[in-house]
Every structure is written in structure tokens, then in C-alpha cells.
Amino acid sequence: MSEVTQVAFQLSTSSLAEIDRAVPERFPSRAAALRKAVNDLVWQLEQERIDAALEAGYAAVPQGAEEREWGEMAVEGLGKAALD
């Protein structure tokens, strides 16, 4: 198990009430709901870093005509697969 740190913070009463309404149906506890929210944020931030790195890489080494053609064919194939 990784190292953990306890964090204390304040929420509005209405936000806490909304979380508490979700707990019995979707989460085993209030803490689990808050951990899920934080984990989702951390995942989103990591995805944004990855996207930025990919964008920077493609900007540094732009695609040639052949790579663009392959990409267009792949996108067309994905569209066809969605229709099937």
C-alpha cells in the first residue's frame, strides 16, 4: 500500500449534503466518495499532461503526407465500425 496523508478541508453544507445523498447508492462511505472525486481529478490532470506532451511532440516533428493519410484512413474506419 502506498503512503497516505490525511487532509482536512471545508465544504459547503449543500455540497456535503449532496455527497451524503450519493453515499448509500454509489459509495460505501463519505470518505470513499471524496477519494473517488480526488482520484478522478488526478487522472484528468495526468491525461491533460499526456495530451500536452503528445501535442508538443507532434508540433516538434509534424506528420508527413503518408502519416496523415494513414490517420485519415483510421478515423474513417472508426466511423464505419461505429455504424456496424
Reported as a single tens digit per residue, the pLDDT across 35-53 is 999 999 999 999 999 999 9
Query: Is 46:54 a contact under the CB 8 Å cutoff?
Result: no
Q: CA–CA separation, 21 vs 60, rounded Å?
A: 49
At 77 the pLDDT is: 82
Q: CA–CA separation, 41 vs 47, rounded Å?
A: 10
Query: Is 33:26 a contact under the CB 8 Å cutoff?
Result: yes
Q: CA–CA separation, 28 vs 48, rounded Å?
A: 29
The model's pTM: 0.66
> What is the mean pLDDT for each group of 10 consecutive residues in the chain (84 residues)?
89 96 94 96 97 91 85 82 60
